[in-house]
Amino acid sequence: GLYLYSAAQTLGITRDEMTAQLIAGTAKYSSIFNYPTPTWADMGAIGWLVDGAAICNQVPLCRASYGPYARAMVRICKEESFHQRQGFEILLTLMQGTPAQRAMAQGAVDRWYWPSLMMFGPPDDASPNSAQSMAWKIKRFSNDELRQRFIGMLVPQAEALGVTLPDPELRWDAAAGRWHTSAIDWDEFREVLAGRGPLNAARVQHRRDAHDDGAWVREAAAVYARKKATAAAPESEAA
């Protein structure tokens, strides 16, 4: 988040303005953060699926046409790679455990599989921004291309883990040269984006509370900065 905020600041918006938008609930952020995490296995599923989807989506952005954004993505992808490997290891360990642990791992995969596929955005024929982003060479691949690539990565990994991807229609269509899947629930996707997901309100309230609780830190830092600037002023004048 800090990397992306820094990149956005190069376009003229301030950090304070972006923070105000976030705590007001008007800023857009990844829809995946609006789902609950009821068990420890969810940490594994999030790492494997969510961070895996992020890597698949963001690696091409490391070569985006806008330099500050591309450079931020290089750092982000390094961090996401660790999270993805950690998530895979958590699930692998659980799948080698008791029946209850294996069931917990499978349940988490069931919860996070479809939201992770939604992370690539709406289908190409319903995406309002993809054409412009690709024309400006910010995006290099379409939503559906990246989603297909991600599914192709998941299938052998799921087999290695011993988990089942919760899509009875998932199969490779050799004639079409693509993965055939069940229909994604885009109504759910739109509801979450509109702020009506399972935890949208709670997540925004948490950020608002954290911002209020941290006010004293920001005030102390501002006072320190002013004192430091005042102390440096006479030295500058003397020079």
Residue-wise pLDDT for 6-57, tens only, equals 999 999 999 999 999 999 988 888 889 999 999 999 999 999 999 999 999 9
DSSP 50: I
- Compute φ and ψ for 97, nearest 5 degrees: -100, -145
What are the residue ranges spanned by the domains of the chain?
2-198
The DSSP element (H or E) to which 179 belongs, if any, is strand 178-180
pLDDT in tens, the chain (239 residues): 789 999 999 999 999 999 999 999 888 888 899 999 999 999 999 999 999 999 999 999 999 999 999 999 999 998 899 999 999 999 999 999 999 999 999 999 999 999 999 999 999 999 888 889 989 999 999 999 999 999 999 999 999 999 999 999 999 999 999 999 999 999 999 999 888 999 999 999 999 999 999 999 999 999 999 999 998 876 665 55
pTM over 0.75: yes
> Which long-range contacts (C-beta less than 8 Å, at least 24 apart) are formed by 185-194?
185/114, 186/118, 186/122, 186/123, 186/126, 188/114, 188/118, 189/31, 189/118, 189/122, 192/31, 192/34, 193/28, 193/31
The DSSP element (H or E) to which 172 belongs, if any, is strand 171-173
DSSP track, 209-224: HHHHHTHHHHHHHHHH
Q: Domain 2-198: which CATH class?
A: mainly alpha
Looking at residue 92, what is its pLDDT? 98
Alpha carbons 48 and 235: distance in angstroms, whole number:
54
Cβ neighbours of 171 (radius 10 Å): 11
